[in-house]
Chain A
Amino acid sequence: MSSKSKPKPKIGVFKFASCDGCQLSLLDAEDELLGVAGAVEIAYFPEATRAMSKGPYDIGLVEGSITTYQDAQRIQEVRRQCKTLITIGACATAGGIQALRNWKDVDEFIRVVYATPQFISTLKLSTPIAEHVPVDFELRGCPINKYQLIELITATLAGRKPNVPTYSVCIECKRKSNVCITVAKGVPCLGPVTQAGCGALCPGYDRGCYGCYGPMETPNTASMTSQFRILGQADSQVARAFRGFNAWAWQFRKASEECERT
């Protein structure tokens, strides 16, 4: 076959428990959307199209966490259908905000929200995709950064390593010449233990980082906890800070549980 007739790589976008925001990032890439659509075949993306072509897919983008028995089955099928499986966002990579149930009695949660509990079928835990199937790349963030997503798709198609840094938000603050809000104003900030990718948004808006990109590579959470205490935060507040959108990521999970124990 000539290179002209070579089929375009097929992309599928799959949703589990989530807010839709990470897949929306693709539609929010206003300047890049038509270019991406020209380079690949969007074969399965229900949020954007009625046309649903069957797998296999070259790249599967998975948003959301696993919270039901049916979804735990479905992710196995999605994995079988995708040559490269990429998880996008805090739900898919860490269980999301809905993982707060993991420390509670989910049956009590059901009773609080739903009048007829027997209709609800849900698992006790909200878990990331990688706890169920092998994942080729995890793109962090709540929500993900759309430019990182485009870079990741481009790199995957080109067969190279994506340029997605794993250092902390502090590095981004330095690059932007932000004055450190912890040092200057005594504001508690998770920036030192959180992975970069947002562009150090919160410190730039006069508030502390709340960790929506999850733990950086080898974070020193113990030191972070003592810093929060020095700034006058009670252990219950420190635990809450770690228990956000990436609460079930093991480094943050360990840190919040240590605060609860003391």
Chain B
Amino acid sequence: MTVHGTRTIRVDTLARVEGEGSLYIKLVGERVADVKLKIYEPPRFFEAFLRGRHFSEVADITARICGICPIAYQMSAIHAIERALGVRIDPRVRLLRRLFYCGEWIESHTLHVYMLHAPDFLGYQDVIAMAADHRAVVEKALRLKKVGNRIVQLLGGREIHPISAAVGGFYKTPTKQQVRDLVADLEWALEASLETVRWTAGLKFPDFEQDYEFVALRHPDEYPFNEGRLVSNRGLDIDAAEYEDHFAELHVKHSNALHSVVRGRGSYLVGPLARFNLNFDKLPEVACQAALDVGLQPPVKNIFRSIVVRAVEIVFACAEALRVIREYDAPAVSRVEVPNRIGVGQAITEAPRGILYHRYALDENGLIVTAKIVPPTSQNQKRIEDDLREYAAQLVAWPLEEATWKCEQAVRSYDPCISCATHFLKLVVERTDAGI
């Protein structure tokens, strides 16, 4: 069938994503003429007002960039500042930070898998409507999410903007017994996450594979959270300190947003798919096996399957949390004293959505001189548009409403966090009449 005329796929308020964005795709005949993922989330200028704040305040402030992944912001900020100041942390604090991140991954991935993404696969507007037909699935999801939140609550005091992580350690570390009390919940969660892998693998996936450059941390011994070199399937292998030499933000014609690219190559993908493909050999046996049992092995090149990979990462996070708990003993000192001093430090950690880069320069009083933050969603943004350009071409003959929903589903595969991306994105505030 030949399609004539001009049609527009337009979503004025992207739903089930964090933050405010819209989607615009122009189809002329069978050609995709234009793709824009527009961001109208207002800028908040974090890098600007961080200047003059003391390094001890940075983890609390940057957490407020994102209510969904505050721990990622705390971890990248703290590790960058510790590198700037040459701080060495207790190995038990290091373990605890891994446990902290496990909590955020379980919570954030479960939210995305069941509440934000699964309704697309099953044809529901939202998880509430889905619960009417799949009550047991949704109840299990809520309980799984709650286990992640329970870890965060113990280590950080509260789920959103936790208060205990600090440069040098934690304000207060839990006792061995408090951490052990999580075991029963986590054993249940591990089983629930294995069911999640099977459940998501049974969904129907569009046939859509792309040749991505995957970028993720890689650590010699473990699946990455806070440490490792930044690698890709196209030969990238660098330290966090070299990040800005290898990545750039470009202003693309017809787009008001800055796009992150690998210098000399182009768009790239960060997040679960990249981590899984580059670190499959570092997954614990139980997660590895869960993936293989449903026929999932690297390289996974279909972005829609990221929902299954996220489920595998929940398995990993539950198993890793249990491992950490077995090894954990409370450190003698919860945090080391860190004196003020001049320094520059960079760090990359793996937020649920992908790598999060921070750089800080500090003066002799420990005050921030300059700050730079590159969140995962801004790094994926160009890749999302590249995907849509290819994917929309497959949908030209579809009824507009179905094609629109499919494109939304593709965007949600990235679990975009627009609130995060905005504080640095270049944008034009644009609103239409459709939403208020």
Which stretch, A9-17, A151-159, A161-169, A221-229, touches the partner chain B? A9-17
B262 in the interface (beta carbon within 8 A): no
A254 in the interface (beta carbon within 8 A): no
Which residues of the other chain, A, contact B302 by a CB distance below 8 angstroms?
none
Q: Is the Cβ of A119 less than 8 Å from the Cβ of B160?
A: no
B19 in the interface (beta carbon within 8 A): yes
Q: Is the Cβ of B159 less than 8 Å from the Cβ of A119?
A: no
B48 in the interface (beta carbon within 8 A): yes
A230 in the interface (beta carbon within 8 A): no
Which residues of the other chain, B, contact A206 by a CB distance below 8 angstroms?
171-172, 334
Which residues of the other chain, B, contact A50 by a CB distance below 8 angstroms?
15-16, 119, 125-126, 405, 408
Q: Is the Cβ of B171 less than 8 Å from the Cβ of A77?
A: no
Could you tell me the distance between the alpha carbons of A17 and B65 in the complex, rounded to whole angstroms? 11
Smallest distance from the beta carbon of B400 to chain A beta carbons, Å? 15
Which stretch, B221-229, B282-290, B422-430, touches the partner chain A? B422-430
Q: Is the Cβ of A18 less than 8 Å from the Cβ of B419?
A: yes
Whether A201 touches B44, Cβ cut-off 8 Å, given contacts A50-B408, A74-B436, A206-B171, is: no
Q: Is the Cβ of B172 less than 8 Å from the Cβ of A205?
A: yes
Which residues of the other chain, B, contact A108 by a CB distance below 8 angstroms?
48
Which stretch, B83-91, B142-150, B268-276, touches the partner chain A? B142-150
Q: Is the Cβ of A24 less than 8 Å from the Cβ of B43?
A: no
Which residues of the other chain, B, contact A207 by a CB distance below 8 angstroms?
163-164, 166, 171-172
A220 in the interface (beta carbon within 8 A): no
Which 5 A-B residue pairings sit nearest by Cβ, starting from the closest?
A21-B67, A49-B126, A51-B125, A109-B48, A100-B49
Interface, chain B (partner A; CB < 8 A):
13-20, 40-49, 51, 53-54, 57, 60-61, 64-68, 70, 111, 115-116, 119, 125-129, 131, 138-139, 142-143, 145-146, 149, 157-161, 163-164, 166, 171-172, 249, 251, 256, 258, 334, 405, 408, 417, 419, 423-424, 426-429, 431, 435-436
Q: Is the Cβ of B16 less than 8 Å from the Cβ of A52?
A: no
Q: Is the Cβ of B67 less than 8 Å from the Cβ of A97?
A: no
Q: Is the Cβ of A97 less than 8 Å from the Cβ of B64?
A: yes
> Which of A21, A78, A115 has most chain B Cβ within 10 Å?
A21
Which residues of the other chain, A, contact B408 by a CB distance below 8 angstroms?
50
Could you tell me the distance between the alpha carbons of A33 and B149 in the complex, rounded to whole angstroms? 15
Smallest distance from the beta carbon of A7 to chain B beta carbons, Å? 16
Q: Is the Cβ of A19 less than 8 Å from the Cβ of B419?
A: yes
Could you tell me the distance between the alpha carbons of A50 and B404 in the complex, rounded to whole angstroms? 12
Q: Is the Cβ of B45 less than 8 Å from the Cβ of A101?
A: yes
Whether A30 touches B16, Cβ cut-off 8 Å, given contacts A98-B45, A201-B163, A206-B171, is: no
